[in-house]
Structure 1
Amino acid sequence: MLFGISGTELMVILVITLVLVGPDKLPDYARKAGRFIHSMRVRGQALSEQSNIDVHGLVRDSGINDIRKGLDDATQDVNRLLPPIR
């Protein structure tokens, strides 16, 4: 399935396009559609990579890793004290 379109629906779209555009212009329109889809994929991938970089930078800059390390150390201290109490 491409864009949520089944095989039958895709065939109907292709036949209608062939009738409207004509067989001589169909390859040109198919090429343009392919280029458009490719450019959208590239832009989407770049946007996804940029957002991942931004999120990792925010986490690093926020100091949350230092807070997590402090909480882990505190948890280990509490766990060391618990066995003698039990």
Structure 2
Amino acid sequence: MFGLTFEKLLLIGVIAAFLIGPDKLPHYAQQLGKLVRNMRDYANGAKDRVRDEMGPEFDDVDWQKLDPRQYDPRRIIRDALTDEPEAAPAAPSPNPNSAYLQHRAKQQALATGELPPFDNEAT
């Protein structure tokens, strides 16, 4: 958890005991316990509320599939630039701009004297 080991937490606790003092330490420990319980209750309440609002579909959702850490930004951009999603390449492309260049090659060139499209409502 945040790179805190047992030794570091113990050291923080000893420093806190010296700074706060033995007379106020039980009061602050009690407040910390209440804070942790309240945060746990808020998290459980939010989970229960989502479960109530989603109904029985909540248990059917594959939460691992929705994890944003599994997405590859290069694949997302490639899928956005191309009309149909491609299979993942076996080896990395030597040119990092290849998906963009392929998209540009599909576009039609303007005829001589033809004006590019213009949107009056664009900023």
| Global fold match (TM > 0.5) | yes
Structure 1 unmatched runs, 5+: 60-86
Q: TM-score normalised to the size of structure 1?
A: 0.58
Counting matched residue pairs gives 58
Q: TM-score normalised to the size of structure 2?
A: 0.42
Distance in 2, matches of 1:15 and 1:36, equals 20
1:55 to 1:4, Cα distance in 2 relative to 1, 3 A: farther
| Residues 1-86 of structure 1: pairs in structure 2 closer than 5 A | 5-56=4-55
What root-mean-square deviation, in Å, do the aligned CA atoms of Structure 1 and Structure 2 show? 2.3
Distance in 2, matches of 1:4 and 1:47, equals 27
What SS does the corresponding residue of 1:24 show, helix, strand or coil? Answer: coil
Percent identity over paired residues = 31
1:39 to 1:8, Cα distance in 2 relative to 1, 3 A: same
Distance in 1, matches of 2:48 and 2:2, equals 22
Greater fraction helix: 1
1:4 to 1:34, Cα distance in 2 relative to 1, 3 A: farther
Distance in 2, matches of 1:3 and 1:39, equals 21
What SS does the corresponding residue of 1:23 show, helix, strand or coil? Answer: coil
1:5: Cα distance to partner? 2.7
Deviations 1:52-80, CA, capped at 9 Å, x for gaps:
11112788xxxxxxxxxxxxxxxxxxxxx
